[in-house]
Structure 1
Amino acid sequence: MPKVRIAPEIFFLDRTSGRPLQSQIREIVVASILSAQALPGALMPSSRKLAEHLGVARMTVSLAYQELVDQGYLETQSRSGYLVAHTDAVPRLSADGVGKPSENSEAWRNVVSESLQDRRRIVKPKNWRSLPYPFVFGEMDATIFNHTAWRGCARQAMGTRDFDAMASNDATDDPLLVNYVLSRMLPRRGIAARPEQILITVGAQNAIWLAVELLTRAPLKAVCENPGYPDTLQALRWCGAQVSMVDVDDQGLPPEKIPEETQAVFVTPSHHAPTGATMSRMRRTQLLEQAQARDMVIIEDDYEFEMSFLEPPSPALKATDTNQRVLYAGSFSKALFPGLRLGYLVGPAHVIAEAKELRSMILRNPPGHLQRTAAYFLAQGHYDLLIRDMRRQFARRRKVMVDALGKTNLEIAGAAQFGGSSLWVKAPAGIDTENLATKLIDDGVVIEPGAPFFGGGNVPTEYFRLGYSSIPIEQIETGVRLIYDRILDESASG
């Protein structure tokens, strides 16, 4: 009986992904086998025909095929080429009795309490990396990052000596990473802690979410900054907290405006999100005194303190917390790369123990391999060199951006006094920066509209954030000019 030959036309490569072609070929062949497009015994396209179809070298296909033979997905047969293997490594379900997918949203409307998709959030276009003027915040510049050092640390973390610790399921944090946080990160912020007072998290956002979950098991009256980080506000509201928004000024959150009966205050005192304002020392003292007098707790999000190229950052609020009223959230993601998703929560030992138990109900612990790789990268000095290079680059980019904005009538409404990686900008009255951002995409420009940072109904429309962590320095002046030209067009048409 003649064998079925699989047509090469069912295979496609993603040329925009930047991923190795050989890896992509292996993946699309495996996908075709798992989805039953390629059944056991079927003949694969010859390496020549598949190479011609995909527009790659024949050797690339041959090497991919051979790797799949070694893995047991394909097998070779004399004069026939490559066949889909008969193997129990690929579980298959009978098509009999398998229902067709259907949409039944109504069945869930009564049990899903509200739509999170409608919340205000910061959204970047998926193709922002391909655009010439990406003024996005919190993204890395791959030209600065030491990929070779990271790969070396990853290989070291995968070694036999470290594997047992990584492969365990005991919900423990990597002791090397915890030790680095204790000995290097926290002292830079003026904080002293013990190992039992630290929890490794999946980024600072996860740390704040854990704090919110712990605090809202009973009715909670909380305060957030306005403007402020939108996910903190949404998390509190989602968990049932009664939230008051307190307007910030150029010295951060004013403690005297915190309502009576407040139980928890969420702040970014060293580097306010998004304006960059630093809370004054007098206000910090006042806030800590209020916390003690009113029996409040404070959740401090201390991000981007490493980007201090103009002057040293102020000490963390936690550094002067003598009454253990502050939970401190930090992150490696901003300085390394956002996809790393590693952060930490620091607080009283009994609170951290509760947070650890809560974390174990969601996930045991952040991936052990990432923790150990990051620990090696930090301990071997690569992190400190990276921070040095970022500070130098960001100082130059910030100057170019400030000079470019100075040639317009756009106002720098907020900037971190120690440096940072973004500016908070105000357009002329009447400009809707959400509409502006949409139109700027046509010019290859990405900005972050300011509306998601504000709470309440009467949201200002003229603010936006310009990040300079990932945009090439030579693109900044032209990008700012394109933004200003669009604003002039909007003003003229309005």
Structure 2
Amino acid sequence: MDILTSRIFDLPGNSGLKLRDRICEQVSAAISRGALPPGFRMPSCRALAERLKVSRNTVFAAYARLVDLGLLEAKDRSGYVVRAAALPVVPAGSGAGAVEAEPVDFGPLPPSSLKRVDHPADWSDYPYPFIYNQTDPALFPIDAWRECSRQALKRSTLTEWTGEYIAGDSPHLLQQLRQRLLVYRGVLAGDDEIMVTLGAQNALAIMGLLFARNAGPIAVEDPGYPDARNAFTLTGNDVRDVAVDDGGLVPGKIPQGCKLVYATPSHQFPTSVSMTLARREDLVARAARDDFFVLEDDYEAEMHGGADALPTLRSLDRNGRVIYVGSLSKTLSPGLRIGFIVASRQIIREARAIRTMLLRHPPTILQETTALFLGLGYYDRHLRTLVRRHGERWRHMKAAIDSKLGAFSVKHSVGGTSFWLTGPEGFDATAFSASLRRDGVIIDAGETFHMARAPKNSFRLGFAYVPEERMERGVALIAEAAASHGVPAA
């Protein structure tokens, strides 16, 4: 087969790279796996340009870049050839991967079997992905972030982020977290009472590991965040459920003897209801009286829809019983993985030791970039825009639900980026969500958010990723499908 007709040079269509870099990526990958051996003469710029339907200048620029990288060399009257020993190639069939491994017993509950929200890998290609934990990339402040990255990468700062820093936290970022985020939530802390994490999920896993040595179960909301439940389970804790109603977690339902209670008081995950002030005060008082800690996940705290925000549990705590977890995932980007824990000095000291063993520390260059983004005021400006845009989407989505899904009851919430809907008895939201995917609609079936005795008639509609112009049509498709499942239109 002619090299030009092979698939070696097929360029990925879904890459965000420029054409030149996509060509470089394909050629370097082919060299690394031995498909283009040392001394191999590459196709001419003209021939490859015709094959890829790009300009000759683009191919020439790619070849020049590969020469700079030491993968190709230019020879007189021979064009471009693969350099000898450009990359070490491992012969196929060698190494441990050549032998089929014996099955490993991971016990009755292997990590992959834990119940969690499952979205298709190509979810972003669906026209109506009403899912949680995704932000609209069109709202990301790319120019401001690029400027902060440029400043963080100055030569004068090189020594600050290229070495391994076991202490792990950028002093600049800790200062900005205190001044730009925590103070507005009524949370006061010193540098030794804050730790940076790789998002809130990393914080939950660290707390799970820390409290696994203590006797007693961990109580989680039901319905609640599946990956909090999973993090505590995987770290060896006994996990129990606590009921949630229209006022949030019910403190009087906390099981006896708990060592830790996990709560999402600002916007309960997944129902989006807010915990009442009376219950917040009750929960903090019970923690001191009954000798347990509260892990407060301040989920979507900024998205309160213009209503007066209630105080955090941490700000009500006078006995060091509340551990506060926050992140920038919902306000900036989940892909950046910036989160933080605020707790007593003793807890932070032990949490830092655990983090060191797991991952050393979050990337320092990312911390420095985030500190600049906060300190230069870009975050404040972005947050004002985000709250306004999400408020518009919330109202648009609520109007569509009220007009087309009136047969479903909707949990009352103010702000946030999702709605929790419940159908009549006998309605199967799990089967319903599977059928909707054929129409390009993704929803989160409620069964996944519950523990053992999971009702099947609820589901969650997240709207942070779906543009306003698609919302009404997406909700209309849900209404049409509901009618075919025995739930009439409003």
Shorter-chain TM-score range: over 0.9
Superposed CA offset, 1:182-226 (max 9, x none): 112111111110000000000011111111110002333121110
Shift of 1:112: 5.5
Letter of the 2:391 partner, please give it: A
Which residue does the alignment assign to 1:176? Answer: 172
Match of 1:77 among 71, 75, 78: 75
- TM-score in terms of structure 1 length: 0.94
SS in 2 for 1:248: strand
Which residue does the alignment assign to 1:86? Answer: 84
Which residue does the alignment assign to 1:45? Answer: 43
- TM-score in terms of structure 2 length: 0.95
Which residue does the alignment assign to 2:339? Answer: 343
Shift of 1:351: 0.8
Identity of aligned residues (%): 38
SS in 1 for 2:249: coil
Contact 1:134 1:471 in 2 (8 A): yes
Tell me, yes or no, if structure 1 residue 304 matches structure 2 residue 300: yes
Alignment of 1:154-165 (within 5 A): 154-165=149-160
Which residue does the alignment assign to 1:238? Answer: 234
Which residue does the alignment assign to 2:31? Answer: 33
Letter of the 1:48 partner, please give it: R
Tell me, yes or no, if structure 1 residue 101 matches structure 2 residue 111: no
Contact 1:431 1:487 in 2 (8 A): no
Shift of 1:312: 2.8
Contact 1:5 1:44 in 2 (8 A): no
Which residue does the alignment assign to 2:352? Answer: 356
Which residue does the alignment assign to 2:64? Answer: 66
Which residue does the alignment assign to 1:414? Answer: 411
Superposed CA offset, 1:226-247 (max 9, x none): 0000111122222232222111
CA RMSD of aligned residues (A): 2.0
Which residue does the alignment assign to 1:454? Answer: 450
Cα distance change on mapping 1:98 and 1:168 into 2, 3 Å: closer
- What is the rounded CA distance, in whole Å, between the counterparts of 1:173 and 1:165 in structure 2? 11
Match of 1:469 among 438, 456, 464: 464
Letter of the 2:430 partner, please give it: E
Shift of 1:413: 2.9
Cα distance change on mapping 1:105 and 1:272 into 2, 3 Å: farther
Tell me, yes or no, if structure 1 residue 256 matches structure 2 residue 252: yes
Alignment of 1:310-349 (within 5 A): 310-349=306-345
Deviates more, 1:198-207 or 1:375-384: 375-384
Letter of the 2:396 partner, please give it: V
Letter of the 1:115 partner, please give it: P
- What is the rounded CA distance, in whole Å, between the counterparts of 1:95 and 1:447 in structure 2? 43
Shift of 1:55: 2.4
Cα distance change on mapping 1:453 and 1:93 into 2, 3 Å: closer
Which residue does the alignment assign to 1:14? Answer: 12
Letter of the 1:468 partner, please give it: F
Letter of the 1:317 partner, please give it: L
Question: How many residue pairs end up in the alignment?
Answer: 485
Shift of 1:56: 2.1
Tell me, yes or no, if structure 1 residue 478 matches structure 2 residue 466: no
In structure 2, the gaps of 5 or more residues are none
Cα distance change on mapping 1:144 and 1:91 into 2, 3 Å: same
- What is the rounded CA distance, in whole Å, between the counterparts of 1:286 and 1:323 in structure 2? 14
Cα distance change on mapping 1:95 and 1:256 into 2, 3 Å: closer
In structure 1, the gaps of 5 or more residues are none
- What is the rounded CA distance, in whole Å, between the counterparts of 2:409 and 2:465 in structure 1? 20
Superposed CA offset, 1:296-350 (max 9, x none): 1111100111113231321210001110001110001111011011100000011
Cα distance change on mapping 1:19 and 1:449 into 2, 3 Å: farther
